[in-house]
Structure 1
C-alpha cells in the first residue's frame, strides 16, 4: 500500500468506453493526486453489470490500455494482469446516474467497482446527472469537471481513513449543473418495475429488411424498464419535483438527486446473509423428512 508520502496508485476504468469525455475529466483530476493507469473498454459497455469474458483483445493506449471487454474484464486485467499493486480503483464518470438498488445492480460502472472489491482492492464508482436534463446525452455537450472534482476530493479524504475497513465500494452520483452541491451519505433505494408489451411485428427488432415472420405459436415480447415512477426508458423523471420529494425519503440516493445533491452510498458487495429462525426451523424439519 502507498504511504502518506507516496502518490496513490490508481486504476481507472469506465463503462462508456475509453474515448468518452467522462473518463477524460476524471483522469485529469486524479493525476493531481496519484499515478493513474487506465484500462477501459474499447467500446461502450453500459448496462452490462459485472459480466465477464474469458477472452479479450488488449490494445495499447496513451493512458494505458483499451480492452475489448466489459468494465469488470478491465478491472480483472488491471489488478491481476499488470505488475502495479494498485491502491484503489475508480470507475467513471458515467454520463448518467446509477441510483436505486436495481439500477446499481446492473450498472457497468458499479460492476467494475464490485469486481475490484471482490479482488481485494477498494473502489469508487462515479456517475453524473443533470438536474434538468437528467442524462448527460450526448456527453460531448456536457462538462464533467464538477463530478471529477467531487471524485478527487472523496478519494483523497476516504483513502487511508479507515473507510474501507468495513466498506467495499462507494457509489457516487454527482450533479453536473449544481454549484457547490451538498454531499450526503445515502442508501440505494429499491424502486423498480417492468413494463411488458406483446407484438407481432418483427420489424421492432430493429432490422427493417427482416423478412421472416413469427409462427402461430410465437410472440415478440418487449421488456421495458420502469426505473423511475411514470417513466420508461431515458425520459427525465425529475418533474414534478415535489412528487418525487414525497416519494423518496431523505437519506436515499434518489432523494439526494431530486434535491441536487451529491449522493455517496457505501456498499458491501460480498452478499451477506440474514439470520432467520423461521427458515432454520423449516430446513430442520425438512431434513428429518427427506430420506
Structure 2
C-alpha cells in the first residue's frame, strides 16, 4: 500500500470509543488517516443528517457533534477532501442482516461515502453477551485484533485488485480476536427479521429477538449468510451496492398506465 493512501475514518460509537482507536492505530501504520467521528455515541441512527454541526479538534482527530453521515459529508467537503477510502468502525456489536443496512450508523457512513463515489469499508465486531447490555461490556484494544487485521488487509489490497469495481462498500463483521486469524466467508446479508414489541402501560418496548438464536448448532440462517458465518466464528464480508437497485416489472407498469383511467382527471373530480 502506498504511503499516499488517504483514509477518512469514522464510526457511530463516538470518537472516544476503543474500536475507532484500535482501527486508527492499525491503519495509520501505513496510511494517512484523518478521523472525523461523532462526538458522542450515535448508534442505530441510520443516515440521519443535520443542517449544521459543531466541530471540535481532539487528540485523535475531529469530533463532530452530529451523526456518522454528518461526519462523512463534513469530511468529504472540508476536513478530509478526496480520500481514497472511507472506513467506518470498528463498531462494538455486529451489524448483520438486511434489516440493519438502513439502521446502522456504521453502515450508513459507508453508504454516504458511496454516494460521493468513494469506496468504503464498514467493520463491526460480534460481541457474545448474556443478560449484560452491550453498552456495559468493557473491551480492551486486544479484543479488536481480528477487526484491525482484516480491515487493514482490505485497505491495503481491495482497491488495487478492483474489488470496488463491483461493490460500492464492504460490510465486514468479525468475531472477537481469539488467537490465529479466522477464516473468511464472502456472504449475503441474512434475510431473517424477528423484531417484536411489548406494551407495558404507556410504554412499548422494542425487542430484537434475532440475538437470542446465535448458537451455531441451532441458528436458522442458511450457509452463505453473514449471520451464520459470524456465529460459526468466521469473518463475514458482504460486498454491497448503493444506491439500492430498482426492479421494473410489467405489473407495476400496467398499474401506472391505468391510473388516470381509474381515478379520472383532476378537473373531473372538482
TM over 0.5: yes
- Please tell me whether the aligned partners of residues 129 and 136 of structure 1 are also in contact (alpha carbons under 8 angstroms): no
Q: Tell me the CA shift for residue 170 of structure 1.
A: 0.4
Q: Map residues 213-232 of structure 1 onto 2, 5 A cutoff.
A: 220-228=202-210, 231=212
- Which secondary structure state, in structure 2, belongs to the residue aligned with residue 53 of structure 1? coil
- Please tell me whether the aligned partners of residues 95 and 137 of structure 1 are also in contact (alpha carbons under 8 angstroms): no
1:181 aligns with 2:149: no
Q: What residue is the counterpart of 2:254 in the other structure?
A: 281
- Which secondary structure state, in structure 1, belongs to the residue aligned with residue 218 of structure 2? helix
- Which secondary structure state, in structure 2, belongs to the residue aligned with residue 29 of structure 1? helix
Of 57-66 and 131-140, deviating more is 131-140
Q: What residue is the counterpart of 2:214 in the other structure?
A: 238
Q: Map residues 1-291 of structure 1 onto 2, 5 A cutoff.
A: 5-82=2-79, 84-130=81-127, 137-141=136-140, 143-178=143-178, 179-200=180-201, 220-228=202-210, 231=212, 237-239=213-215, 241-244=216-219, 247-289=220-262, 290-291=264-265
CA displacement 1:154-178 (0-9 Å, x = unmatched):
1111012222123111000011134
Whole-angstrom distance in 1 between the partners of 2:164 and 2:3 = 19
Q: What residue is the counterpart of 2:268 in the other structure?
A: none
RMSD: 2.0
Q: Tell me the CA shift for residue 5 of structure 1.
A: 4.5
Tell me the number of residue pairs that the alignment of Structure 1 and Structure 2 aligns: 260
- Please tell me whether the aligned partners of residues 40 and 71 of structure 1 are also in contact (alpha carbons under 8 angstroms): yes
Q: Tell me the CA shift for residue 74 of structure 1.
A: 0.6
CA 75–121 in structure 1, closer or farther in 2 if over 3 Å, else same: same
Of 114-123 and 172-181, deviating more is 172-181
Of 32-41 and 130-139, deviating more is 130-139
Q: Tell me the CA shift for residue 119 of structure 1.
A: 1.5
CA 84–283 in structure 1, closer or farther in 2 if over 3 Å, else same: closer
Whole-angstrom distance in 1 between the partners of 2:81 and 2:258 = 52
> TM-score normalised to the size of structure 2?
0.89
Whole-angstrom distance in 1 between the partners of 2:23 and 2:50 = 26
* Structure 2 unpaired stretches of 5+: 266-270
Q: Tell me the CA shift for residue 223 of structure 1.
A: 3.9
CA displacement 1:46-67 (0-9 Å, x = unmatched):
1101111111110011232111
Q: Tell me the CA shift for residue 141 of structure 1.
A: 4.2
> TM-score normalised to the size of structure 1?
0.83
